[in-house]
């Protein structure tokens, strides 16, 4: 095994973490990362909010809950070792009306069962001790929720891979995968590669690349575009760390929130609008192949039939800054529509099953020498080093 060649498809933070772990656990193996873009961390890694989650939201016992808890600890240690930005600025999850209290209590039970460190319940009058300009009835304070620069983290993982003797091939698009005579041949636009083992961490293209390995159609990726607002410099100091709403348990999205960045800026967002392009970061971006993939997937229509009202509300916020900020301003009333400008956008690779259900947990499979990561949404960046351990454990278990 130590002399084998192992390929990793995807140069996002998860793929690079897996490649790094392979070089650590199998120092004699030849590890090659294949990335279609000209730089690392181009897509989900480079378009998220930079939050290092503490495990508040995830179903106890799920892979998400387990790997988020371990991943946060590993990432904090790694950032300290590599001198990467990592700031434990803390998070408040705030209930602003009584109708949310049942969901709030359930969220607190989940967070405590997941062992979120330092978690405490803060009553309304005491919210301002944590966030002087926040408003609400009650909140959960997670002091060790942090922020970092995930592109810098991903690039550091890539450096580790190369330093250990592996290689990272940029501008290399995978066009086919075939297993034959005990070897895996990966064809790319830059030529073929032959591997003994393969790990697919293709993010927004996870379903397509995974389907090349086993022919299984599903779950499919349905892109959700998340738009951010940037708060004007004069109002940035009004939020010390992060202020989040109580999430709707029907969705894997956390709702529009206030988040500080390691650069010192303050963002509001993201929302979650159905996207018309998996890699469409500008308003109006359209990819007909991506639209066709959604339109021909039964799960898309079943999902839409269940959640169309929420989708219309999200679209309203996307079209109007005033509507977008109407909800956000409930949590920090001094920041309104006049205090923000449109900022960046990201796209979440949301896996949707054939029955229309949104896949919430990480979905990782292994068969015949090929490991596929078909669903790794947030908190995948937080969990990246722990996901890598889990994936490499599977690779080793298969022999």
Tens digits of residue pLDDT in 80-105? 999 999 999 999 999 999 999 999 99
Q: What are phi and psi of 297, to 5 degrees?
A: -100, 120
Among residues 226, 229, 237, the alpha carbon closest in space to that of 264 is found at 237
Residue 192 and residue 180: Cα distance in Å, rounded?
Answer: 14
Residues 112-162 have pLDDT tens digits of 999 999 999 999 889 999 999 999 999 999 999 999 999 999 999 999 999
User: Hey, how many other C-beta atoms are within 10 angstroms of the C-beta on 310?
Assistant: 14
Question: 5-46+151-219+360-397, which class in CATH?
Answer: alpha beta
Q: For residue 399, what pLDDT is reported?
A: 63
CATH 3.50.50.60 maps onto the chain at: 5-46+151-219+360-397
375 token code pair = 């669903």
Q: At how many degrees (to 10) do helices 384-397 and 13-25 cross?
A: 50
**Peptide bond preceding 52: is omega within 30 degrees of 0, i.e. cis?**
no
Residue 202 and residue 210: Cα distance in Å, rounded?
Answer: 8
**CB-count exposure of residue 186 (10 Å: 0-12, 13-18, 19+):** buried
Order of strands across the sheet that contains 174-180: 174-180, 183-188, 193-195
Are 67 and 118 spatial neighbours (Cβ–Cβ below 8 Å)? no
Tell if the pTM clears 0.75, that is, is over it: yes
Q: For residue 308, what pLDDT is reported?
A: 82
Nearby residues of 85 by Cβ (< 8 Å), 6 or more positions away: 79, 147, 148, 149, 152, 262
User: Hey, how many other C-beta atoms are within 10 angstroms of the C-beta on 22?
Assistant: 27
- 180-to-56, 140, 397 alpha-carbon distances in Å: 44, 54, 21
Nearby residues of 164 by Cβ (< 8 Å), 6 or more positions away: 20, 23, 24, 27, 31
- List the chain residues with pLDDT less than 50: 1-2
**CB-count exposure of residue 257 (10 Å: 0-12, 13-18, 19+):** buried
Q: For residue 2, what pLDDT is reported?
A: 46
> For the CA atoms of the chain, what is the radius of gyration?
21
């Amino acid at each position: 095994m130590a002399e084998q060649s192992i390929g990793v498809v995807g140069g996002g933070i998860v793929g690079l973490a897996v490649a790094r772990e392979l070089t650590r656990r199998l120092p004699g193996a030849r590890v090659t990362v294949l990335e279609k873009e000209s730089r690392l961390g181009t897509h989900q890694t480079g378009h998220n909010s930079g939050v290092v989650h503490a495990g508040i939201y995830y179903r106890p016992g799920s892979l998400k809950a387990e790997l988020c808890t371990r991943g946060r600890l590993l990432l904090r240690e790694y950032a300290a070792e590599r001198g990467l930005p990592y700031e434990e600025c803390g998070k408040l999850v705030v209930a602003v009306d009584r109708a949310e209290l049942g969901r709030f209590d359930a969220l607190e039970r989940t967070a405590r069962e997941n062992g979120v460190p330092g978690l405490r319940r803060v009553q309304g009058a005491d919210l301002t001790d944590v966030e002087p300009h926040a408003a609400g009835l009650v909140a959960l304070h997670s002091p060790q929720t942090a922020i970092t620069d995930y592109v810098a983290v991903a690039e550091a993982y890539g450096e580790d891979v190369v330093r250990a003797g592996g290689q990272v091939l940029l501008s290399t698009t995978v066009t086919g995968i075939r297993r034959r005579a005990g070897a895996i041949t990966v064809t790319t636009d830059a030529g073929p590669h032959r591997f003994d083992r393969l790990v697919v961490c293709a993010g927004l293209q996870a379903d397509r690349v995974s389907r090349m390995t086993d022919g299984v159609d599903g779950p499919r990726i349905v892109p959700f575009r998340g738009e951010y607002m940037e708060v004007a410099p004069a109002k940035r100091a009004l939020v010390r760390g992060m202020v989040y709403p109580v999430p709707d348990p029907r969705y894997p999205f956390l709702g529009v929130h206030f988040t500080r960045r390691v650069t010192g800026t303050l963002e509001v967002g993201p929302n979650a609008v159905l996207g018309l392009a998996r890699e469409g970061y500008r308003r109006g971006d359209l990819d007909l192949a991506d639209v066709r993939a959604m339109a021909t997937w039964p799960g898309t229509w079943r999902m839409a039939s269940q959640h169309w009202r929420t989708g219309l509300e999200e679209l309203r916020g996307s079209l109007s800054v005033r509507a977008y900020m109407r909800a956000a301003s409930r949590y920090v009333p001094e920041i309104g529509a006049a205090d923000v400008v449109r900022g960046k956008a990201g796209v979440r690779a949301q896996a949707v099953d054939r029955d229309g259900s949104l896949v919430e947990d990480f979905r990782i499979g292994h068969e015949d020498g090929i490991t596929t990561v078909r669903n790794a949404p947030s908190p995948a960046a937080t969990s990246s080093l722990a996901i890598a351990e889990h994936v490499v454990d599977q690779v080793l278990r298969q022999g």
